[in-house]
Amino acid sequence: NYYLEKINITGKLNAFVEVYASESIERAKHLDEKRISGKPCGKLHGVIIAIKDVICYKDHTVTASSGILKNFVSVYNSTVVENLLKEDAIIIGSCNCDEFAMGSTNENSVYGRVLNALDKSKVPGGSSGGSAVAVQAGLCMVSLGSDTGGSVRQPADFCGITGIKPSYGCISRNGLIAYASSFDQVGIFSNNVEDAAIVLEVINGPDEYDSTVNQQKQKEFQISHQPKKYKIALLKNALGHRSLDQEIKKNIYDLAEQLREDGNEIEEIDFDLIDFIVPAYYVLTTAEASSNLSRYDGVRYGFRHQNDAEDLAQFYKKTRSEGFGKEVKRRIMLGTFVLSEGYYDAYFTKAQQIRRLLVNQTEEIFKSFDALIMPTVPSTAFEAGSMQKDPIAIYLADIYTVYANLTGTPAISLPLFKHSNGMPFGLQVITNKHNELTLLELSDKLM
Ligand code: GLN
CB of 231 within 8 A of CB of 370? yes
Closest CA to 50 of 5, 1, 84: 84
Closest CA to 97 of 139, 68, 63: 63
- Residue 306, pLDDT above cutoff 90: no
| Residue of the CA atom closest to atom 10 of ligand 1 | 102
The question of whether 413 is a catalytic residue gets the answer no
- Residue 13, pLDDT above cutoff 80: yes
> What phi and psi, each to the nearest 5 degrees, are found at residue 359?
-65, -45
SS3 414: strand
Cα three-residue angle 5-6-11, rounded to 5 degrees:
100
Pocket test for ligand 1, best of 107, 278, 398 (most atoms within 8 A of CB): 398
For the CA of 180, the nearest atom of ligand 1: 9
Residue range 40-46: average pLDDT? 97
Cα three-residue angle 144-53-317, rounded to 5 degrees:
145
Residue range 4-17: average pLDDT? 96
- Residue 168, pLDDT above cutoff 90: yes
| 166 CA distance to ligand 1 middle (Å) | 16
| Residue of the CA atom closest to atom 5 of ligand 1 | 149
For the CA of 151, the nearest atom of ligand 1: 8
The one catalytic residue among 52, 122, 165, 318:
52
What pLDDT does residue 323 have?
97
Closest CA to 328 of 61, 107, 47: 107
Residues 392-406 have pLDDT tens digits of 999 999 999 999 999
Q: 326: part of which helix (H) or strand (E)?
A: helix 326-338
What is the percent of the chain with per-residue pLDDT over 90, rounded to a whole number?
95
- Residue 69, pLDDT above cutoff 80: yes
| Band of pLDDT at residue 302, cut at 50, 70 and 90 | confident
| 133 CA distance to ligand 1 middle (Å) | 17
Angle subtended by helix axes 193-203 and 79-86, to nearest 10: 110
- Residue 217, pLDDT above cutoff 80: yes
The question of whether 236 is a catalytic residue gets the answer no
Structural domains in the chain, CATH included, are 1-447 (3.90.1300.10)
Which residues, 6 or more positions from 30, have their beta carbon under 8 angstroms from its beta carbon?
none
Residue range 133-149: average pLDDT? 98
| 285 CA distance to ligand 1 middle (Å) | 9
| 103 CA distance to ligand 1 middle (Å) | 5
| 98 CA distance to ligand 1 middle (Å) | 9
Residue range 204-232: average pLDDT? 94
- Residue 389, pLDDT above cutoff 90: no
- Residue 195, pLDDT above cutoff 90: yes
Cα three-residue angle 353-103-249, rounded to 5 degrees:
75
In the structure, which protein residues have their CB atom closer than 6 angstroms to any atom of ligand 1? 101-104, 127, 146-151, 179, 285, 398
Pinpoint the alpha helices (H) of 169-311: 193-203, 236-239, 246-261, 277-292
| Band of pLDDT at residue 173, cut at 50, 70 and 90 | very high
Q: 313: part of which helix (H) or strand (E)?
A: helix 312-323
What pLDDT does residue 244 have?
97
For the CA of 152, the nearest atom of ligand 1: 8
For the CA of 101, the nearest atom of ligand 1: 9
β-pair type (142-147, 162-165): unpaired
The one catalytic residue among 128, 146, 151, 167:
151
What is the reported pTM? 0.98
CA 199 remoteness from chain centre = 15
Cα separation, 313 vs 329, whole angstroms: 17
Cα separation, 100 vs 288, whole angstroms: 12
Backbone dihedral region for residue 352 (phi beyond 0: left; psi -120 to 50: alpha; all else: beta)? alpha
Cα separation, 415 vs 141, whole angstroms: 16
- Residue 205, pLDDT above cutoff 90: yes
Q: Which amino acid is at 71?
A: N
What pLDDT does residue 308 have?
83
β-pair type (371-375, 162-165): unpaired
| ipTM over the 0.95 cut-off | yes
Cα three-residue angle 39-43-48, rounded to 5 degrees:
105
For the CA of 282, the nearest atom of ligand 1: 10
For the CA of 395, the nearest atom of ligand 1: 1
What pLDDT does residue 101 have?
98
The question of whether 151 is a catalytic residue gets the answer yes
For every residue of 347-387, DSSP letters joined together read: IIIHHHHHHHHHHHHHHHHHHH-SEEEEESSSSSPPBTTHH
For every residue of 264-283, DSSP letters joined together read: -EEEEE--TTGGGHHHHHHH
| Residue of the CA atom closest to atom 4 of ligand 1 | 103
| 204 CA distance to ligand 1 middle (Å) | 22
Residues 92-109 have pLDDT tens digits of 999 999 999 999 999 999
| Band of pLDDT at residue 383, cut at 50, 70 and 90 | very high
Residues 113-122 have pLDDT tens digits of 999 999 999 9
Residue range 67-83: average pLDDT? 97
User: Which string of b and e fits 273-305 if b means at least 16 CB within 10 Å?
Assistant: bbebbbebbbbbbbbbbbbbbeebbbeebbbbb
Q: 412: part of which helix (H) or strand (E)?
A: strand 411-418
| 97 CA distance to ligand 1 middle (Å) | 11
CB of 143 within 8 A of CB of 403? no
End-to-end CA distance of the chain: 31
> What phi and psi, each to the nearest 5 degrees, are found at residue 427?
-105, 130
What pLDDT does residue 400 have?
98
What pLDDT does residue 11 have?
86
Cα three-residue angle 238-428-92, rounded to 5 degrees:
140
The one catalytic residue among 78, 127, 143, 190:
127
Closest CA to 200 of 148, 138, 152: 152
CA 296 remoteness from chain centre = 23
What pLDDT does residue 216 have?
87
Q: For the ranges 14-23, 128-137, 359-368, 379-388, which has the lowest average pLDDT? A: 379-388
| Band of pLDDT at residue 221, cut at 50, 70 and 90 | very high
| Band of pLDDT at residue 307, cut at 50, 70 and 90 | confident
For the CA of 103, the nearest atom of ligand 1: 4
- Residue 159, pLDDT above cutoff 80: yes
| 104 CA distance to ligand 1 middle (Å) | 6
Q: For the ranges 36-40, 155-159, 385-389, which has the lowest average pLDDT? A: 385-389
